[in-house]
Structure 1
Amino acid sequence: MFLFGGLLVTFLIWKIYLSIITMMNRKSLSAVPQPPIDSFFYGHEPSITKAKDENRFLDLFVEWVNTYGTTVLFWIGNRPFVFTADPGMLKQCATDLKSFSKVDNLPNRSLFGQKIIGTTSILSGGGLRWAVKRKIMSRFFAKTNMKDMFMAARDHMGGVELRRWREVVGKGQCVDLHDQLSITFSSYLQVLGLSDYLPPETIARNVYLLLEAIPKQLFQRWSYIISSDKTRMFDLIKKMRSDTKQVVVERMEEMKNNPDHVVPDLDLLGHLIEANLSDDGKTSSSEAKVVDGVVDDVMTVCLVLDNMVKQLCAMFMFLENEQEIQGKLMKELRETDIVEFNDLNKLKYTEKCLLEALRMGPALLRGTRTYKTQTNKRFGPYVVNMNNVRVHFSEYVMQMNPEYWPNPKQFNPERWQPGFNPEPFSYMPFFVGSRGCLGKHMAMMMMKLTLSVLAKHFDIQQCFNQKKPPTINQNMAVMRIINKVDCMVSPLNGS
């Protein structure tokens, strides 16, 4: 009885203490606009939980920004967070790496502690070594390197992949577009010098399973952690990294035995090895550390390829009720001969459709940074004293803002007329600054090329389940489409 009474008193004292701290915090931060809280102890958590359950999490922030201002404060219990859609703040987040640091404990880094891409890859790393590695790899992904890459990708897509598509669709059938495009984009690894890597079908399946498991550590944490599914995923991740490591070690041995050999322009693995060996011009890392870094990077590439898949699936999803736009898109793709890299510039309407799909459903829906300066922090016109505050932002929210995008929920490629330049930091599908996407030119090239080849040989019509149509999952940071993106794919006459 005395123990129970002591625990109760301790609990009440703790609650009183938290209440006092919460009142002090909320009073000191009252200058920053914030939606009315749902309850004293839970802050805005009930509204956020409800929005997540209804799959309108990001739309909630759209409403808050439109109602209360471009930078708002919200509370999870007694913890304050900042959400900003202010272009000036977004510029700081993207360019001021000293004040705004990345957050390492994000779900695509590891699965319940089992390393996936870690925190040192070209996507997730930081510091001098990461900056040097990014600088070296930027030359591989530069637009000037796309011509040779295009020729290899064109031959691959028009040969091996086109034959596979013909075998799959036969005389016409409804297929999961994501599944088929996943194999296609995984097969592009062969173009990038990874012909000895896993078969495309295996990579596509593994990446799908891995990406499906990531939300479970967020939303089904305790039930998933004790399930056999988690054990199977651990085994799958270990095998993916083990198979990758074997390829990396073999290539490093080849390069070591032939030090005068020049890495070919299209040899992605060779360039990743060189980039991980380099430390501002010096080679100082242990071989095991280099191998682990290259494995992280190859795993990253496999996951990022899926972003292109989702981007094309999202475009067909948005086009479901836009038959006139889809007809115009297919007409251009079928009537335009794509022989050389520069021919892709002729696909002007195709580019407009891709840019609009990237606006309405960017691969990266949202991000977060830690504002770590110890002095008073500025949020637009507001200055507050907060230590190491989390600052959240969203490409989706920015790109659905009616201030910058009239009728933002309408799929309208015509908004991308020549000379149109979006307001700086209002359009960031590939992000910007030093953490901008290295492969954006490659992504656009491969998406255009894939569409061109498929459109010339197949008729593609959406056949979505009307009771469960595909829709973007707003609860995830990386775009994920709920339900199948089914399309009826039929060979064109003479194809």
Structure 2
Amino acid sequence: MFLISCLVVAYLLKLARHYYRTYWSHQRLAAIPQPPIDSIMKGHTTTLNKWKEKNKLLDLWIEWHNTYGDTFVFFLSTRPILWTADPASLKDITTDLKHFSKFDGLPNRSLYGQRLVGTESILSGNGLGWALKRKVMTPFFAKTNMEELYYACKPHMEGPELKRWKELIKDGKKVDLHDQLGITFTSYLQVMGFHNFMNSELIAKNVFKILEALPKQLSSWLSYLCSNDKEETVNMIHEMRSEAKKAAMEIHRQTVRYKRNEQSMTNINMLGFLIEANNKNGHGKRRSVDDTVTFTIDDIMTICLVMDNMVKQITSLFMLLNDEPECQRKMFAELRETSIDTFEGLNSLEYTEKCILECLRLRPVLTRGTRSYKFKNTEEGKVGNYVITEQGIRIVFSEYVLHHSPKYWENPDKFNPERWFPGFVPEPFSYMPFFVGARGCIGKHMAMMMMKLTLSVLARNFDMVQDFDPKNMPDFTQEFAVMRLINKVDMWVEPYQPEQGC
């Protein structure tokens, strides 16, 4: 009985201490606007969960942003979260790597206990090693290298990939746009040093499965551990990493031969650049072959997963164009009338680029980001006009909310490519589809080139008509940081027959 009494007293003391710390956490942040809490211990969790269930989380943040301003605080149970859309604060968050660091608690590096993209990939890495790796990769993704990459990708898209699309629609079947674009964009890797890697259809299938499984790590540990797809997904990861190892080993041997003969790699060989980046990412020490290959495998997995971003972006574009037939007509007319025999021709697709930019605004693939704010005890933490005393507080910002803010965009919910008139420059840090600063998307120029090339070839060869079920319209889930499409995006794709003149 005495022992039970002691345990009860210990529990009550712990609860009182937790309540006390939570109360003062609220008080220390009282100067920053806060939506009404559900309770001192639940914070805003109940409200957030209700909006998540309705798939309206981003809409809730828009409502709070419009009500409480550019910066406010909400609580996940007892943990404070600083939310900001203040341009000055976003500038600090994206450029001050000393105080604002990437949040390491995100489960984007492993799945079902399997290594997925590791901790030092060009996407998930941090620190000096990551910076050195990014520096090596920059020339490959540079705008000046896009012309050479374009002339490598164009014959592939107009050749084997176009042939695949023609075979696909031969029997008059509807096309799941997301699935087929997944194969298309993944197939571009074949001209960038990945020709000895697994076939595009298998990569696209695996990537889709893996990306669908990843959110389960955030939503429910029970569903994550008891998933019926667990074994299949684990096998996919093993297979992809095994094939990636073969490709990395082969390109590593080629790199050694090039150096021995004092030759340089071609500028379109992404896989060769990845090997070089991992060779030099040894913090001053030369890495072993095994280490280089292992980290290159992480990067190969990263590249495959990231290629899906372009898939979702073009799929989203067609979803938006479904309600804007005149915009689609104008875009397809430009794509069909403009020769892309040269790189300059591709760059002249002005209206198409406007449509892509507007899609990136309304439906950014990355809907939100997060950072951890750390400062010395002798320093005064500050975000915008607010003093922060919560060491290591988590900061959340949302590209989606910024892109839908009437403060920065006229009629923000309207798909309007014409807003991107020549010379138009958005308010700094109000448009971040590729993020900005030191961690800005290194592949944004490649993404734009590939999206325009893909749209051009498809438009010049096919008529594409949406066939959405009005009771089950395509949509995306607002719960996760990376856009997840909910329903199929079915389309009728038929050979394009140009009208004959009289």
TM range (shorter): over 0.9
Cα distance in 2, alignment partners of residues 294 and 168 from structure 1: 34
Match of 1:470 among 474, 493, 496: 474
Q: Deviations over 1:376-399 (max 9, x none)?
A: 211211112111110111111111
Q: CA deviation at 1:88?
A: 0.9
Matched-pair contact (CA < 8 Å) for 1:171–1:491: no
Q: CA deviation at 1:77?
A: 1.7
Cα distance in 1, alignment partners of residues 398 and 405 from structure 2: 11
Matched-pair contact (CA < 8 Å) for 2:130–2:281: no
Q: CA deviation at 1:282?
A: 5.5
Q: CA deviation at 1:244?
A: 0.3
Matched-pair contact (CA < 8 Å) for 1:104–1:119: no
**Counterparts of residues 251-290 of structure 1 (less than 5 Å):** 251-258=251-258, 259=260, 260-279=262-281, 284-290=286-292
Q: Which residue of 2 aligns with 1:354?
A: 356
Cα distance in 2, alignment partners of residues 279 and 198 from structure 1: 26
Cα distance in 1, alignment partners of residues 111 and 282 from structure 2: 32
For 2:136, the aligned partner's letter is I
For 1:370, the aligned partner's letter is S
Matched-pair contact (CA < 8 Å) for 1:172–1:491: no
- Structure 1: where are the runs of 5+ without partners? none
Cα distance in 1, alignment partners of residues 24 and 47 from structure 2: 23
- State which drifts further: 420-429 or 377-386: 377-386
SS in 1 for 2:441: coil
For 1:315, the aligned partner's letter is L
- 1:125 and 2:125 aligned: yes
Q: Which residue of 1 aligns with 2:458?
A: 454
Q: Which residue of 2 aligns with 1:415?
A: 419
Q: Deviations over 1:40-61 (max 9, x none)?
A: 2101001111111111111111
Cα distance in 1, alignment partners of residues 367 and 43 from structure 2: 24
**Counterparts of residues 348-427 of structure 1 (less than 5 Å):** 348-374=350-376, 375-427=379-431
For 1:464, the aligned partner's letter is F
Matched-pair contact (CA < 8 Å) for 1:187–1:200: yes
Cα distance in 1, alignment partners of residues 413 and 498 from structure 2: 38
Cα distance in 2, alignment partners of residues 89 and 6 from structure 1: 48
SS in 1 for 2:234: helix
SS in 2 for 1:125: coil
Q: CA deviation at 1:492?
A: 1.3
Cα distance in 2, alignment partners of residues 82 and 98 from structure 1: 18
- Structure 2: where are the runs of 5+ without partners? none
Cα distance in 2, alignment partners of residues 176 and 4 from structure 1: 61
Cα distance in 1, alignment partners of residues 190 and 450 from structure 2: 13
Q: CA deviation at 1:256?
A: 2.2
Cα distance in 2, alignment partners of residues 168 and 141 from structure 1: 32
Q: Which residue of 2 aligns with 1:334?
A: 336
For 2:169, the aligned partner's letter is V
Cα distance in 2, alignment partners of residues 233 and 212 from structure 1: 10
Quickly say closer, same or farther: Cα 1:227–1:321, change in 2 above 3 A.
closer
Quickly say closer, same or farther: Cα 1:227–1:346, change in 2 above 3 A.
closer
Q: Which residue of 2 aligns with 1:192?
A: 192
TM-score norm. by structure 1 comes to 0.97
Q: Deviations over 1:23-77 (max 9, x none)?
A: 2221121001111101121010011111111111111111111101101111112
Cα distance in 2, alignment partners of residues 254 and 196 from structure 1: 13
Match of 1:303 among 282, 302, 305: 305
Cα distance in 2, alignment partners of residues 279 and 204 from structure 1: 29
Q: Which residue of 1 aligns with 2:16?
A: 16
Matched-pair contact (CA < 8 Å) for 1:277–1:283: no
- 1:72 and 2:72 aligned: yes
Q: CA deviation at 1:344?
A: 1.5
Q: CA deviation at 1:446?
A: 0.4
Quickly say closer, same or farther: Cα 1:224–1:127, change in 2 above 3 A.
closer
Q: CA deviation at 1:132?
A: 1.4
Cα distance in 2, alignment partners of residues 432 and 222 from structure 1: 36
Cα distance in 1, alignment partners of residues 15 and 105 from structure 2: 29
Q: Which residue of 2 aligns with 1:215?
A: 215
SS in 1 for 2:431: coil
Q: CA deviation at 1:283?
A: 5.4
Cα distance in 2, alignment partners of residues 439 and 323 from structure 1: 30
SS in 2 for 1:121: coil
Cα distance in 1, alignment partners of residues 298 and 165 from structure 2: 31
For 2:294, the aligned partner's letter is D
- State which drifts further: 219-228 or 278-287: 278-287
Match of 2:443 among 429, 439, 445: 439
**Counterparts of residues 124-143 of structure 1 (less than 5 Å):** 124-143=124-143
Cα distance in 1, alignment partners of residues 339 and 228 from structure 2: 51
- Percent of residue pairs bearing the same amino acid type: 52
Cα distance in 2, alignment partners of residues 281 and 20 from structure 1: 44
Matched-pair contact (CA < 8 Å) for 1:461–1:487: yes
Cα distance in 2, alignment partners of residues 282 and 14 from structure 1: 47
Q: Which residue of 2 aligns with 1:148?
A: 148
Cα distance in 1, alignment partners of residues 228 and 357 from structure 2: 41
- State which drifts further: 260-269 or 429-438: 260-269
Q: CA deviation at 1:252?
A: 1.1
Cα distance in 1, alignment partners of residues 247 and 19 from structure 2: 56
For 2:476, the aligned partner's letter is I
Q: Which residue of 2 aligns with 1:243?
A: 243
For 2:31, the aligned partner's letter is A
Q: CA deviation at 1:476?
A: 0.9
Q: Which residue of 2 aligns with 1:157?
A: 157
Quickly say closer, same or farther: Cα 1:464–1:194, change in 2 above 3 A.
same
For 2:456, the aligned partner's letter is S
- Tell me how large the CA RMSD over aligned residues is: 1.7
Q: CA deviation at 1:4?
A: 4.9
Q: Deviations over 1:328-381 (max 9, x none)?
A: 111111111111111112211100000000001111111111101133211211
Matched-pair contact (CA < 8 Å) for 2:128–2:283: no
Cα distance in 2, alignment partners of residues 389 and 239 from structure 1: 39
Q: CA deviation at 1:223?
A: 2.8
Cα distance in 2, alignment partners of residues 408 and 198 from structure 1: 42
- 1:183 and 2:183 aligned: yes
Quickly say closer, same or farther: Cα 1:279–1:240, change in 2 above 3 A.
closer
Q: Deviations over 1:436-458 (max 9, x none)?
A: 11111110000000000000110
TM-score norm. by structure 2 comes to 0.95
- Equivalent pairs counted in the alignment come to 495
SS in 1 for 2:465: strand
Cα distance in 2, alignment partners of residues 148 and 345 from structure 1: 14
For 1:85, the aligned partner's letter is A
Matched-pair contact (CA < 8 Å) for 1:38–1:45: yes
Matched-pair contact (CA < 8 Å) for 2:313–2:364: yes
